[in-house]
Structure 1
Amino acid sequence: MTVLLILIPVSLGLGLLGLWAFFWSLKAAQYDDPEGQAQRILSDRYDDTPD
């Protein structure tokens, strides 16, 4: 039963850490234009392969 006194705060802390990381990624614009990035990697316009 005393292990719950350790596991509950640890699980809450990890949950809050994950929530903070999600909001940080939103603030850092990590999710802006994901479709444009997906199309750009498939394009041959900027092909850096040697001739």
Structure 2
Amino acid sequence: MKEKRREKNITVQDLADRAKVIKGLISQIENSRTIPSLIVLIDIIKPSKLT
């Protein structure tokens, strides 16, 4: 996820804002420290987010 986010020039904060979560959660997900809930995962991968 981190690579795709960087390819699209999206900051952690931007992605967190779009997914309506705190940026620490995005960081934890990217660093394999936690697994997102299905709802958060869907919000992160919506086409407007990383594609």
Whether these two folds match at TM > 0.5 is no
- Structure with the bigger RCO (C-alpha within 8 Å, sep 6+) is 2
Indicate the structure (1 or 2) with the bigger Cα radius of gyration.
1
TM bucket by the smaller chain? under 0.3
TM-score relative to the length of structure 2: 0.25
TM-score relative to the length of structure 1: 0.25
